[in-house]
Structure 1
Amino acid sequence: MKKPLLVLSAVTLSISALFSPIPTYASLPLTISGQPLPSLAPMLESVTPAVVSIAVEGKQVSTRQLPEQFRDFFGPNFPAEQVQERPFRGLGSGVIIDAANGYIVTNYHVINNADTIRIQLHDGREKEAQLIGGDEMSDIAIVKIKSEENLTEIKLADSNQLRVGDFAVAIGNPFGLGQTVTSGIISALGRSGLNVENFENFIQTDAAINSGNSGGALVNLNGELIGINTAILGPNGGNVGIGFAIPANMVKNLSEQIIEYGQVKRGVLGVQGGELTAELAEAFGYKTNHGAFVSQVLPKSAAEKSGLKAGDIIISVNNKNIRTFSELRAKVATLGAGKTITLGIIRDGKKEKYTVVLQALEEQKTAAVKLHSGLAGAELVNSSSKDNAQGVKVASVASDSAALKYGLESGDIIIGVNRQRIKNLKQLREILETKPGVLALNIQRGDQNLYLVVR
């Protein structure tokens, strides 16, 4: 569809200005008092080849419950719900983090539900990409293209060293215009609360970020990646100088897990709590309200094993100060199960340190009987990058079980249910929550593609 021209501004010229000589770029001075003009161009020339444009296509599947009158009229075999598929296209950005293996990091929401992912490199080349894995709650995904000698990767900075006021440059593909660069500063750190269900620890910047910038790079003046541009705060979906990026350290932790396992192995500390108010801090002998208040330590959790207690105030993770409980939650969840961390706490007005080994989140493995009685006896997990398909993998099938009776085998990968493509346990749960009478499971078994009917 042809886009209308945008009128940016009205300009009034005097008659003399119309006949004034127009300077050419070649005639403009390149130095001031013999010194070169300051410019971001040299840094950007080395960084922009690592930022790519992403185009996706897919189908959004929705279900609608039909009135009971339909079944009364057409008979009991008439479907109880109507399935609708609507094609969609989307644009976003990505950053090459491993040129040797062709790995590109982007936002999960950029590639969510995509059937095809195409990458356009800085020099115009286009490549088909394969989804390696992603994490919806932290909004990070990894895709892979065929590695070539002339791919450029970006170096990751230590985002823990960022300060409010540091210069920042955003690179991406806003509105599908092509690669665009904007600049600003770091406006705030540790932002959260945009979506309470997700793990958020955002960098806030006033560098212009718009639709299509999602998944693009936020870099420092050394050309190092400090964040992945993710969201904006604007009344009409446009830039108002408040953009958010996922910090590079968080991106690094998540990317390593997705590349190795095909998913994020969530780390769990095992505490409940909330934000530290000034009154609460004073009551516990702490002079500021920066930190995370622990109201409960869960039994047999990593926190209990390490000696943490209710009433503790956690003020740092791995010697880096934290400001809020949301920041603690995001850092712990994205570090990964099995990681050893050092927590700085305030207890009875005194500073102490504790070493904690994070536990794994139990929900990463699901007993299928909780989903559907016909799947009883099967244990389901999300497939990994080592499997031959993306979907829900059957980790094991118990003998004399309903799952075995219906033909499920260990190693099967469920890639679809009732004509709906699924890529993870979350999508499988959403379908089964509608309580369909019959499950037509599309199974990938080795090189075979088959259907199993489960009642």
Structure 2
Amino acid sequence: MKKPLLALTILSLSLSSIITPIQATAALPLSVDGEQLPSLAPMLEKVTPAVVSISVEGTQVSKQRIPEQFRFFFGPEFPTEQLQERPFRGLGSGVIVNADKGYIVTNYHVINGAEKIRVKLHDGREYDAELVGGDQMSDVALLKLEKAKNLTEIKIADSDALRVGDFAVAIGNPFGLGQTVTSGIVSALGRSGLNIENFENFIQTDAAINSGNSGGALVNLKGELIGINTAILGPNGGNVGIGFAIPSNMMTNLTAQILEFGEVKRGMLGVQGGEITSELAEALGYESSKGAFVSQVVPDSAADKAGLKAGDVIVSINGKDIHSFSELRAKVATLGAGKKVSLGIIRDGKKESFDVTLGEQQNVKASADKLHEGLSGAELTNTTSSDSVQGVKVASVEKGSKAEAYQLAKGDIIIGVNRKRVKNLAEFRKVLEKQPGVLALNIQRGERTIYLVVR
């Protein structure tokens, strides 16, 4: 007999403005016989003021089909669709990481497309927040409160020191109910392959996480931040004890780059490879499945200059163990370009150490949201030598976004804007800074050259 399959979905945890009724249950009180029982309350009293609720407002552009009779009267050149703007609202959570400067970390998807961001503190005070910067590929955003005083910041732990089985406490704003605390353990480390983000190295926890928890805190029993709650895996959006958080060390590296450069400059090692299977380990005479196998070293890359070779197994970065190739990729990217790192290598059964200065990923995707409102929902990147023409390539377009509504498509190459030739993202950005209004985009689409007007 075939067993029914349970469909699982991975969900971001920001919450739309529609909230369904929830049934609440309460446990019977325990008799304590006058004795004090262990409690998380003292720790939480210090930590919860550092966790905030975030509400956003914005406008989504959608296409509305025009009735056929209009085409009958006005001819085939009359457009078949028109753009329609609809307001949206969303909820999420955030964590105060610098009280003096008013910096708050949240998930990028919480504030993506927002025209207004409002932050509510634990004590009920509310403030408008400014977006300092964000990174869609790693789902991290940094906000700033300009006028808020007497804030409480959270202490940040070393997430590399986490072990499976460590206690974990999730704090956030599920379903818009207000600040809520749940507890569990660290169920797994280095989770990847979930297709939530481009660079995945998640903490998995069974602490109950639900919609609205996005950007909230995952803390240890000392009240130190170990991760930023990001997504859940469950049937029909329900919680089944599988939640994911971005490690605090990864978050710290990303926000530091946003503050320094205004964007994330990802590091690049310059190796190709994969995970170590039992067959590969046997062939290499390697007695562990941990590490990242190097199948190829890119010529003239940071790895090549440092002396790495195909067949090497990378087992550590700066003394911290590497368990998989996906973990290596995520850590190298988030450490940032120009950083000097020490790699632990197994070569021919012997341990060696290599010092490497990470290069910069030249073909990094950039969110178009901050460039122009009409381009929101598109990811842009520089073209490569394999493209037919130099310009700014559209790497992806979100469904229901303004970019899609203006008919921008994946694979388009923007070669000009407002009659000015652009060959890369830097030139494109400069033109938009000087001419922020209506855009006339000259686009290479396949073998055709077309024009799109974006407002």
SS at match of 2:305: helix
Contact 1:369 1:377 (C-alpha < 8 Å) held by counterparts: no
| Structure 2 match to 1:200 | 200
Contact 2:343 2:355 (C-alpha < 8 Å) held by counterparts: yes
Of residues 239-248 and 140-149 in structure 1, the stretch that sits farther from structure 2 once superposed is 140-149
| Structure 2 match to 1:6 | 23
In structure 1, how many angstroms separate the alpha carbons of the residues matched to 2:127 and 2:32?
Answer: 41
| Structure 1 match to 2:235 | 235
For residues 57-68 of structure 1, what are the structure 2 equivalents within 5 Å? 57-62=57-62
Counterparts in 2 of 1:260 and 1:68: CA distance versus 1, 3 Å: farther
In structure 1, how many angstroms separate the alpha carbons of the residues matched to 2:270 and 2:284?
Answer: 21
Paired residue type of 1:241: G
| Structure 2 match to 1:131 | 131
Q: Kindly indicate whether residue 40 of structure 2 is the aligned counterpart of residue 40 of structure 1.
A: yes
| Structure 2 match to 1:377 | 421
**1:198 deviation in Å?**
1.1
Instruction: Deviation per CA, 1:258-314: give whole Å up to 9, x if none.
Output: 122221111111111111101111211211111111111111111111111111111
Paired residue type of 1:378: V
Gaps in structure 2 of 5+ consecutive residues: 1-17, 365-380, 383-389, 394-412
In structure 2, how many angstroms separate the alpha carbons of the residues matched to 1:293 and 1:70?
Answer: 61
Counterparts in 2 of 1:3 and 1:290: CA distance versus 1, 3 Å: closer
| Structure 2 match to 1:98 | 98
In structure 2, how many angstroms separate the alpha carbons of the residues matched to 1:306 and 1:334?
Answer: 20
Counterparts in 2 of 1:97 and 1:196: CA distance versus 1, 3 Å: closer
For residues 114-153 of structure 1, what are the structure 2 equivalents within 5 Å? 114-153=114-153
Counterparts in 2 of 1:85 and 1:432: CA distance versus 1, 3 Å: farther
Instruction: Deviation per CA, 1:309-330: give whole Å up to 9, x if none.
Output: 1111111111111111111111
For residues 281-296 of structure 1, what are the structure 2 equivalents within 5 Å? 281-296=281-296
Counterparts in 2 of 1:268 and 1:63: CA distance versus 1, 3 Å: farther
**1:171 deviation in Å?**
0.3
| Structure 2 match to 1:191 | 191
| Structure 2 match to 1:352 | 352
**1:76 deviation in Å?**
7.5
**1:225 deviation in Å?**
0.3
In structure 2, how many angstroms separate the alpha carbons of the residues matched to 1:368 and 1:73?
Answer: 40
| Structure 2 match to 1:56 | 56
Q: Kindly indicate whether residue 454 of structure 2 is the aligned counterpart of residue 412 of structure 1.
A: no
In structure 1, how many angstroms separate the alpha carbons of the residues matched to 2:312 and 2:225?
Answer: 35
**1:380 deviation in Å?**
5.0
Contact 2:127 2:148 (C-alpha < 8 Å) held by counterparts: no
Greater Rg by CA: 1
Paired residue type of 1:191: R
Identical residues among aligned pairs (%): 65
**1:63 deviation in Å?**
5.1
Counterparts in 2 of 1:285 and 1:71: CA distance versus 1, 3 Å: farther
**1:412 deviation in Å?**
2.3
SS at match of 1:214: coil
SS at match of 1:293: strand
SS at match of 1:152: coil
Number of corresponding residues: 393
In structure 1, how many angstroms separate the alpha carbons of the residues matched to 2:19 and 2:341?
Answer: 54
Counterparts in 2 of 1:196 and 1:300: CA distance versus 1, 3 Å: farther
Paired residue type of 1:199: F
**1:84 deviation in Å?**
3.5
**1:438 deviation in Å?**
3.5
| Structure 1 match to 2:299 | 299
Instruction: Deviation per CA, 1:62-118: give whole Å up to 9, x if none.
Output: 458999998897457644754343322111000000111111000111111111111
In structure 1, how many angstroms separate the alpha carbons of the residues matched to 2:114 and 2:197?
Answer: 23
| Structure 1 match to 2:429 | 393
Contact 1:267 1:359 (C-alpha < 8 Å) held by counterparts: yes
In structure 2, how many angstroms separate the alpha carbons of the residues matched to 1:272 and 1:151?
Answer: 45
Paired residue type of 1:278: S
Contact 1:229 1:246 (C-alpha < 8 Å) held by counterparts: yes
In structure 2, how many angstroms separate the alpha carbons of the residues matched to 1:68 and 1:306?
Answer: 65
| Structure 2 match to 1:16 | none
Contact 2:53 2:94 (C-alpha < 8 Å) held by counterparts: yes
Contact 1:31 1:37 (C-alpha < 8 Å) held by counterparts: no
**1:374 deviation in Å?**
3.0
Q: Kindly indicate whether residue 280 of structure 2 is the aligned counterpart of residue 280 of structure 1.
A: yes
Q: Kindly indicate whether residue 209 of structure 2 is the aligned counterpart of residue 209 of structure 1.
A: yes
RMSD, matched Cα: 3.3
| Structure 2 match to 1:154 | 154
Structure with the larger RCO, 1 or 2 (CA within 8 Å, 6+ apart): 2
In structure 2, how many angstroms separate the alpha carbons of the residues matched to 1:38 and 1:331?
Answer: 37
Instruction: Deviation per CA, 1:374-433: give whole Å up to 9, x if none.
Output: 3463355479xxxxxxxx621xxxxxxxxxxxxx48x52647657xxxxxxxxx99x987
Counterparts in 2 of 1:69 and 1:357: CA distance versus 1, 3 Å: farther
Gaps in structure 1 of 5+ consecutive residues: 12-21, 384-391, 395-407, 419-427, 443-455
